[in-house]
C-alpha cells in the first residue's frame, strides 16, 4: 500500500519499532525510511554511533537500540523528515513525540495543537512541551508533543490553529 498511496500502513511502521522491552525503557528513535535512497546524515549526526547506513549510501538506516538513548540529534538532520523520537514513559497516561517542523510560525511551548497522523488526518489534541532550535539544525525545529500514550506511534505531525484549523 505504501507504494500506491505514499502513506505507511500500520504493518509498515510497526516493523520499524524497537522491541517492547526497549520501548518501555525510555525515549527511542523511529526511522520511517522505507525506500533505498542515497542519504546518510542520520549516521553522521549520531553522537553515540547508534545508526548505521554502511558503505552503500542507499541502505536503509539500522538502529542499535543498546547505543541509542533517544536524544533526537538526528531528527533535524534528516532531509526527508522521517525521524521521530518517542517516549512512552513521559508521564502517567501520556507519551512524548519529537517531530521535525519546517514551517512558520513555530508553535510555542505550552500551546495546544492538532496532532496528525502519517496521512495528515487529525489524531488528537496535543500540548507542545518542547521546542528545540539550534544553529546546526539547518532551520529545522524539533517540536515535542505530549499525547495520550496509546497514540505515540500514530502522531507524526501537527496542524496549527483552532479546532477547525482555519477551515
- Grid coordinates belonging to 117: 497522523
Which grid coordinates belong to 19?
Answer: 522491541
Decide if 72 contacts 95 (C-beta within 8 A): no
Give the residue numbers spanning the domain of 116.
2-159
**Does residue 165 fall inside a structural domain?**
no
Give me the number of domains the chain comprises: 1
149 in a structural domain: yes
Mean pLDDT taken over the chain = 91
Q: Is the pLDDT of residue 62 over 50?
A: yes
Residue 113 lies inside a defined structural domain of this protein: yes
Q: In this structure, is residue 167 part of a structural domain?
A: no
pLDDT tens track for 90-120: 999 999 999 999 999 999 999 999 999 999 9
Q: Is 165 helix (H, G, I), strand (E, B) or coil?
A: coil
Amino acid at each position: 500500500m505504501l507504494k500506491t498511496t505514499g502513506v505507511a500502513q500500520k504493518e509498515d511502521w510497526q516493523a520499524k519499532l524497537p522491541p517492547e522491552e526497549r520501548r518501555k525503557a525510555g525515549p527511542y528513535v523511529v526511522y520511517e525510511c522505507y525506500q533505498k535512497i542515497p542519504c546518510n546524515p542520520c549516521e553522521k549526526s549520531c553522537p553515540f554511533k547508534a545508526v548505521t547506513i554502511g558503505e552503500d549510501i542507499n541502505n536503509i538506516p539500522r538502529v542499535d537500540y543498546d547505543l541509542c538513548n533517544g536524544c533526537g540529534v538526528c531528527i533535524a538532520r534528516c532531509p526527508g523528515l522521517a525521524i521521530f523520537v518517542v517516549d512512552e514513559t513521559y508521564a502517567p497516561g501520556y507519551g512524548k513525540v519529537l517531530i521535525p517542523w519546517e514551517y512558520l510560525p513555530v508553535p510555542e511551548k505550552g500551546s495546544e495543537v492538532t496532532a496528525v497522523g502519517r496521512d495528515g488526518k487529525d489524531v488528537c489534541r496535543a500540548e507542545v512541551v518542547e521546542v528545540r532550535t539550534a544553529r546546526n539544525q539547518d532551520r529545522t525545529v524539533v517540536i515535542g508533543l505530549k499525547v495520550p500514550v496509546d497514540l505515540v506511534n500514530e502522531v507524526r505531525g501537527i496542524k496549527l490553529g483552532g479546532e477547525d484549523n482555519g477551515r
